[in-house]
């Protein structure tokens, strides 16, 4: 995994992440399939390293917020019908796996077959970044996302 910017590394390390961290994804896979959601190898790879982490950080407006990598909590916030009918058709490959949630005005975090990260919320779906390091940096550093 490429190095993260200091602020991102600090947030991840405080949450318990370390290089080489590995957790089981069996529970995440079961929960995803039970909800009849897509389970992609890219989601498994991401959650194997980051699953279960709850990171806290300060946004540009100085508010404290978080991102967490849990399926159950994120799925409770996501309109699954809208995911299937509106959001997935907008992304290449038309498949997305849920990997977590960010911010207090919840943004559900999704990954596609190539490892590109997206955020979905009531307002729509957004491209976050094309790689894990860039996605986590964009979230923690409160960088703008591109609406699809």
pTM of the model: 0.93
Secondary structure (H, E, C), 47-99: HHHHCCCEEEEECCCCCEEEEECCHHHHHHHCCHHHHHHHHHHHCCCCCCEEE
For the chain, the C-alpha Rg in angstroms (whole number) is: 14
Interval 79-112: pLDDT, tens: 989 999 999 999 989 999 999 999 988 899 999 9
Domains of the chain: 6-147 (3.40.1580)
Is pLDDT above 80 for 2?
Answer: no
């Amino acid at each position: 995994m490429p190095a993260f910017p200091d602020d991102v590394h600090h947030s991840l390390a405080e949450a318990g992440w370390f290089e080489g961290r590995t957790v089981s994804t069996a529970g995440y896979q079961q929960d995803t399939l039970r909800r009849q959601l897509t389970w992609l190898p890219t989601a498994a790879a991401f959650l194997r390293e980051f699953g279960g982490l709850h990171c806290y950080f300060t946004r540009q407006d100085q508010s404290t917020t978080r991102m967490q990598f849990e399926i159950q909590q994120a799925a409770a916030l996501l309109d699954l019908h809208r995911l299937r009918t509106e959001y997935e058709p907008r992304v290449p490959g038309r498949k997305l796996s849920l990997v977590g949630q960010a911010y207090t005005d919840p943004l559900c975090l999704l990954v596609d077959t190539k490892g590109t990260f997206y955020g979905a919320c009531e307002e729509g779906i957004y491209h976050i970044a094309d790689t894990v390091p860039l996605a986590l940096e964009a979230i923690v550093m409160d960088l703008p996302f591109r609406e699809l």
